[in-house]
Structure 1
């Protein structure tokens, strides 16, 4: 264990973001962005085709740029990684595979009492159906028809469908069209400057759910592949076709069915054999690390619906991963599933695709909170979603924010990356102290699926809901009491498990206790293993009701030790954890190294601190704290008695602590005098300020007309774009639009002449008002009817935005108009425009007013003080008295704050001061949410943000802008040394605002 790496962790442990290649790519700009990523503390990047890509995917220029970036990244010590698809999910090569009908994803469709004819009918039956229940076949009032249908086509797949991942020929076509091209074009870079390849969200199709099927009747389908019935009979010994009603419905209301269980098991086997294994074999042959994740992990329901057992797929990835969407997604168990497989199969690194759908507004505290519990449970490679190459057109709405230079906080982000690199490195040291195995109950869901059981991954069945509830309760009861455990997948146990004395071995891991809880059915192979383990002296605990089925058939379950499904009963039955924290909401993990124990603990509560918390470690030794923010090693005062080392500590909101317990001290403890009593004093009043950028006014409503027709009333610009596309019957822009590189392969037609008129009011004689817009070369621009010179522009925030100076004499007090004229085609982008300068902004409905900047600001939302759209850094100039030793910011609305070079990213937001009387600069670095939106989404506290939320309808839409608060929302607090004479700072010529 090398503690020297704490200060500056190696590239291996640093995050590698999804680098969104989403425009017309330029090598110099790509190199510039690699430089930025290194400055941000990243260790590399995944080169990832996304919505908006104009450079031809898998064309010659594409490969030239891939190689150039790999070479340049290598020169900087950065890792370059490939991504195996145009957008996602992986497997269709941007439509190159699924333009062939035989490779398209298909399904078996159930129709009850159909009124029309059908093709490819498999079978028809007569029975009585009520809800999801049917009675004996051969008689009754209802007609069941089963037929084969093709998945609906989508612009997201460039006009085709997703691929049949259970078809080996389709996978071979995919590997030939994508992977083999990389092998041909990238040569010996593979395995060297190009480390590996990311596969994203492959799946085998939805089971009676409808998610991703692009069909209105998707909830009435199950996946189909050409050899489905042949393979079913070969593997399970009976014909599936006569059993189709039992697959879709419940015979006489019976919830559990071996037909359902067998069917989903078959899908799992075919998916792994025909997609997972060939992809891994190709990567191994070509010296690439295979990483990524599959669809859809969040709970047992979504796993069953889309992919089956996640754990079994992870076995066939070199660096397996997961996807955690949103800022408040606490699906802890998905990391535990991943870590369990990794431990059992000897994989040391695990990936998370994280921060997707969080929106521009997520602060550093959110980055930490989302990443912390994942790092605690073993994630040590963060793949940030998303870092945009450009914000041009629709690309700017592709699941913001952009974790790159477009965000005002990018220069401070190394503070976050250093922290997580240290966390990931430490949690990979040694080996986990984990003696408990929990049998994973996912197959209890498989055996109970039926028509209507789930709706777009939202569970509808109460019996299955109990499986989910028990699953999550067991996880929380164990982890909140610092009892580590692994999950055991039943099929993997049948291959990897054995009994060794009183130990239960699964691959490379061993366990002393096995817990069975929340299971409806269990495999007979698992039952036999549990019997053998108990007979050898091992502990098998059944918490709550035992499974009522074996192999999905009613059966008597063997008699093992049974306890109530209750936290206290469970804790009494299991051995005590080696490290215990006497507080709520604390998860913990212990790792044993050659030099001592690492104990990491995390307060998973983002709203409450835990103070003066007692920690007990069942080991003797010296304790130190490994500070993840600074990389420092800090001595901890502890006591040892009766085999237990004890000490106390505080946990901030969502705060972590990492301790090292070793026979020899890493750092000598020094006797320190008690801290001086400090006086706490809020600093209220109005403050002078400084802007890090010019202020911003967004103009996103315009009047418009086509072909010199009648002017239409002002509408939001994206709604205008939709109206034009609807009129000419072309696909709307959005998350499922055709890729520009694909559209450009056909002849582009000019559709109409378009004029846009944006208005704003100027209430004073402004000194500087500039205009920012996209694709300036495609527009004629007029200010109050006078053509604007567009030949000289400056970059603003992103390469997509060009800044134009508006001559002062073109503006007037009162109403002003900016007009744009263009020829509209399918590739056109109608977007907001921006005014930037030294003005304030006031709003009246959709009307924008430019007003003078205020002289001073008060504590409170900056949106209400002339800065509603501002999204750069905002510095408050705060007088502090002599003797000020610390400053605390009780409530900031922004990404982070900065005081005297100290980045304050999360609770407790405290900066150390010099004790001098001074005019202190307190810099709050805002997010881009109030500039780039969504500004009209009326759903408060939306769980996640995607492209569709920029063009909501009805009650979910608001014409007036809806902002998030920004700035200091509570007065800064200083801590004064009471022994010093305190003198409030008075501004003088030696220390002035101008000097700062």
Structure 2
């Protein structure tokens, strides 16, 4: 089953040009939708959904959480008949509006709840040690000493005695029902290790009513079945109309055991882990200890995938839905976990600062690591190599401090996600809020507030339309990437700290990702113009080569080479599979030969196999630090510099990145799409080469929907395209194998003449917001609302209209660029009564020549500020608006939120406002023209 087979009823819109794909619900941004206390009703569900649809959202993901204080009488128990009725009403109303509905298969996170008994709960290995001397018998009983473990139940799972001469004895059979050990050593002093199947005791975090309880054991399929039976009962065997069921990032802490772990370990790794309890829990990090711990971590990884992720997806398919999963955080191979579901999902957590001129940042975040593109590509790689249609992203989590995030910050962060292969954005997020709730309504503690109460909500359509246009292209066809690169997960496991459970978390990438050769190669390859997807050992085992190309899945795209970066520990089977691909005709690039095999079982035997395999590869020098061996009909290239190996193999990079542009490509039945972004401080106005031979290239502008045929030239199998992209802007190129039958040429423009100052008496009228509407004003000079002689303006959050009449002496430009100067924070533009659209992101300008006329013109601007000043006012007056159970409401640093000491945020239109005449530009300028 694929995501495209289960989409909700789709709405379509008329594209501004036939060059754009038809818009469907999945192209639009979706949002996480928190149901606080499940205190929802049909009237407010309908009201909320209509507001979301009008703003341009394509769907919602229901995630029930804790509730608001004072509304307890409205709480609804999760999965109760009333809750199911509300779910049905939501699905029906959403589909009527052309929206889709996803559902978190739980409340809060991670999975758990009242159906999870201690036997099915997240497990923890508890090991107690004892000393027994010759001729003596252990007097105390072998029972868990921790009262918490005694309460939850911690059965004895293993007892091993370690002797002074290296002896290891399994003594479990000598323990009676009461816990007494019937054994005496004959000589020396022995250490006895007793292992118990304990529990973490972790409860569901941020649980909703009816969802509280222990966290489930994600290593046990029996525990999963116990968890899912509650949903089988609630759904009654009937599909609920849900498009996808969701699983949030794995945040099951200290969960390092499951009742069948020892048995599964022996089956999978070939030896009894119980005999190596001492090494498993040792704080040392010698080679043997690290290898045993590596085997343990590999077993846990397989259990998470095979006992949870795969059967979970199968159950979802039985519900006529698709699975959507955040694999990061799990103690597994996240590539394999992502590849096991229908819609892999990454997340952007924290803020990236971009060098875009005049980009203002209102948050100082020293707590979070900025979103890392390499980390995000694990999810898109899982989708791409398996031929999945969608990669989603939980986007804008803690993008900044509450009430200080403008729409302008969202755009480059969304673009960063697109550049990693994401094509299905979910906002984090939106809280269901009843109409009767006082402003600011119900809010979640960790979100960027995509809520109708947000002062910039009237302008959200600008961001939504941009994302929709981008995703309509980025969901077309398949990913079009050059090469595959192996992720050496065994290096990560072997070198990890002694703690048993090793979570592949976005919050610890400085430890497990940054120091690796894999990461350094991934960053450098992207920077220099290579499009890369990542693969695991299992994916390499599954891959096949045809001719000189290789692919992992039959329905997936093909790639030109497999890169294996420098790795300390690599299974013999993985290298053998890579050699097999070369024999079939593929190019395999080794940064260096693998040094060793991972794990402990049959170590010397596997080392000999690796030695024999590498010895059989006879390399010959090929110049520039490259060595080559021909294998079958393919080749293996050995080079410390991966890019030299790629150049030798005639796998060309996209040199367009030399301009500073970044890209991601899609291939739709031979038509190649390039999504290009300028996150630099410089304008690119130059001829840019594409690694394709196209008959025609259409430029698509996702900012406003314009389209036109580009100026192109052909040169050596490449197509050169003339581009003009300012800092903060993006363009999409549609490179077609066939010439376009029709289409207007793209208009290349450049500034000419003197800008026309839009000046005069500005009529300022506050239209919506609060706490009270400030008085109308006439301004001869544009200034911040906080500088007006009106206290209501200083504390105001909302929208206000600026109207000015000015004279155009003549219309001589081919077009005119309306430049707003300093605007806090977004604008909706009308010229001479005509809606000219939104200006909400850098560089805060828009082409408006079509709306202007000679003589008198009227410009009306609706400006929206941030929520901050009104929140400051509430906190200064000690008005209690934060009234939630559980965590209540915290700031970026998870401290109680208090804005009373914040300085006022500049608001409104500060200008200067100008109209820059533009002339047709026949020659490209230098790329750093700084326009």
TM-score, normalized by length of structure 2? 0.74
- 1:517-556 equivalences under 5 Å are 517-543=565-591, 545-552=592-599, 556=611
Return the match for 1:56 from 33, 55, 77. 77
Counterpart of 2:297? 264
Q: State the alpha-carbon separation in 2 of the partners of residues 520 and 113 from structure 1.
A: 37
Partner residue in 2 for 1:383: 426
CA contact (8 A) 1:355 1:367 kept: yes
Q: CA deviation at 1:355?
A: 2.1
- 1:320 touches 1:351 (CA, 8 Å); kept in 2? yes
Which residue is 2:926 aligned to? none
Alignment of 1:440-519 (within 5 A): 440-451=487-498, 468-494=515-541, 496-508=542-554, 509-519=557-567
Contact 2:826 2:864 in 1 (8 A): yes
Contact kept, 8 Å, 1:620 with 1:643, in 2: the verdict is no
Is contact 2:724-2:748 (8 Å) kept? no
2:60 corresponds to: 45
The 5-angstrom pairing of residues 626-775 of structure 1 reads 626-662=700-736, 663-668=738-743, 677-680=752-755, 687-693=762-768, 695-696=770-771
In structure 2, the partner of 1:401 is 448
Deviation at 1:67, TM superposition (A): 1.0
Instruction: Look up the SS of the partner of 1:451 in the other structure.
Output: coil
For residues 460-518 of structure 1, what are the alpha-carbon distances to aligned partners after superposition, in whole Å with 9 as ceiling and x for unaligned?
899x5576453333222222333222211112322x12344544331234333121114
Shift, 1:74, TM fit:
2.3
1:956 Cα deviation (Å)? Answer: 10
1:63 Cα deviation after fit: 1.0
Map of 1:12 onto structure 2: 26
Tell me the CA shift for residue 592 of structure 1: 3.3
Three-state SS of the structure 1 residue aligned to 2:662 is strand
**What's 1:84 paired with?**
105
1:238 and 1:928 mapped to 2: Cα distance? 61
**Could you tell me how far apart the structure 2 residues matched to 1:451 and 1:339 are?**
30
Alignment partners' CA distance in 2, 1:680 and 1:332: 39
Give CA deviations for 1:88-107 in whole Å, capped at 9, x if unaligned.
223x1xx2123x22122121
Check 1:694–1:436 CA distance in 2 against 1; reply closer, same or farther (3 A cut). closer
Change (3 A) 1:673 1:591: closer
- Taking the TM superposition and a 5 Å limit, the aligned residue runs for 1:824-903 are 836-838=772-774, 856=779, 859=782, 861-865=784-788, 866=791, 867-878=793-804, 880-883=806-809, 885-900=816-831, 901=835, 902-903=837-838
Q: CA deviation at 1:619?
A: 0.7
What is the Cα deviation at residue 14 of structure 1? Answer: 1.8
**Does the 8 Å contact 2:528/2:653 carry over to 1?**
no
Residue among 668, 685, 695 paired with 1:621: 695
The answer to whether the 8 Å contact 1:480/1:586 transfers is no
Shift of 1:236: 1.1
In terms of fraction of residues, the more strand-rich structure is: 1
1:198 equivalenced with 2:246 (yes/no): yes
**Alpha carbons of structure 1 residues 430 and 389: separation in structure 2 relative to 1, 3 Å:** closer
Residue aligning to 2:912: 971
Per-residue CA deviations over 1:737-777 (Å, capped at 9, x if unaligned) read xxxxxxxxxxxxxxxxxxxxxxxxxxxxxxxxxxxxxxxxx
- 1:67 aligns to 2:67 (yes or no): no
Gaps of 5+ in 2: 1-13, 69-74, 132-143, 165-186, 353-369, 620-626, 628-636, 877-886, 920-931
Describe the shift of the 1:505–1:674 C-alpha distance in structure 2 as closer, same or farther (beyond 3 A).
Answer: closer
The reply on whether 1:273 has 2:298 as its aligned counterpart is no
Tell me how far apart the structure 2 counterparts of residues 854 and 354 of structure 1 sit (CA, whole Å). Answer: 39
What is the Cα deviation at residue 445 of structure 1? 0.6
The residue aligned with 1:598 is 673
1:795-845 deviations in whole A, cap 9, x for unaligned? xxxxxxxxxxxxxxxxxxxxxxxxxxxxxxxxxxxxxxxxx3547xxxxxx
Query: Which of residues 319, 325, 330 is equivalent to 1:286?
Result: 319
8 Å Cα contact 1:324/1:354 also seen in 2: yes
Aligned counterparts of 1:42 and 1:672: Cα–Cα separation in 2: 31
Shift of 1:951: 9.7
Matching residue within 20, 36, 45 for 1:22: 36
Mapped pair 1:166 → 2:219? yes
1:668 CA drift (Å): 4.3
User: How far is the alpha carbon of 1:275 from its aligned partner?
Assistant: 1.7
- Bigger mean CA offset, 166-175 vs 47-56: 47-56
Mapped to 1, the partners of 2:246 and 2:385 lie a distance apart of 22
C-alpha distance in 1 between matches for 2:448 and 2:465: 20
Distance 1:14 1:159, change over 3 A: closer
Counterpart of 2:47? 32
Deviation at 1:953, TM superposition (A): 9.2
Distance 1:961 1:291, change over 3 A: same
Counterpart of 1:107 (choices 124, 129, 154) is 124
CA contact (8 A) 2:385 2:552 kept: yes
Which of 853, 859, 871 is the equivalent residue of 1:920?
859
What is the aligned partner in structure 2 of residue 344 from structure 1?
Answer: 385
Partner in structure 2 of residue 713 of structure 1: none
Inter-partner Cα distance in structure 2 for 1:4 and 1:344: 30
Distance in 2, Cα, partners of 1:460 & 1:477: 21
Separation (CA, whole Å) in 2 of partners of 1:15 and 1:272: 29
CA 1:948 to 1:412, structure 2 compared with 1: closer, same or farther past 3 Å? closer
**Deviation of 1:330 (Å):** 3.4
- Counterpart in the other structure of 1:699: none
Q: Which residue of 1 aligns with 2:397?
A: 356
Equivalent residues in 2 for 1:355-374 (5 A)? Answer: 355-358=396-399, 359-374=402-417
Give the secondary structure class of the aligned counterpart of 1:263: helix
Aligned to 1:238: 271
Per-residue deviation, 1:353:
1.9
Within the candidate set 474, 478, 482, 1:427 is matched to 474
Alignment check: 8 A CA contact 1:635 1:667 kept = no
User: What is residue 839 of structure 2 aligned with on the other side?
Assistant: 904
Residues in 2 aligned to 1:648 and 1:36: alpha-carbon distance in whole angstroms = 41
Shift of 1:674: 7.4
* Aligned CA-pair RMSD: 4.1
Q: Aligned with 2:655: secondary structure?
A: strand
* 1:58 aligned counterpart, secondary structure: coil
- Cα distance in 1, alignment partners of residues 286 and 243 from structure 2: 52
The number of equivalent residue pairs is 772
Asked if the contact 2:76/2:83 (under 8 Å) is kept, the reply is: yes
**Contact 2:30–2:59 (Cα < 8 Å) also in 1:** yes
Query: Following TM superposition, by how much is the alpha carbon of 1:162 offset from its aligned partner in structure 2, in angstroms?
Result: 1.5
Cα 1:307/1:650, change in 2 over 3 Å: farther
CA contact under 8 A between 1:292 and 1:351: conserved in structure 2? no
Match of 2:343 in 1: 319
- Distance across 2 between alignment mates of 1:236 and 1:429: 42
SS in 2 for 1:597: strand
| DSSP 3-state at the match of 2:63 | strand
Deviation at 1:653, TM superposition (A): 2.4
CA–CA separation in structure 2 for the residues paired with 1:314 and 1:609: 37
Deviations 1:923-963 (A, max 9, x none): 321232333479989xxxxxxxx966349799997752345
- CA gap of 1:140–1:650, structure 2 versus 1, over 3 A, is farther
| Distance in 1 (alpha carbons) for counterparts of 2:783 and 2:232 | 54
Matches of 1:694 and 1:498, distance apart in 2: 60
Deviation at 1:625, TM superposition (A): 0.5
User: What is the CA deviation profile of residues 531-559 of structure 1, one whole-angstrom value per residue up to 9, with x for unaligned ones?
Assistant: 2233445322223x543222346665825
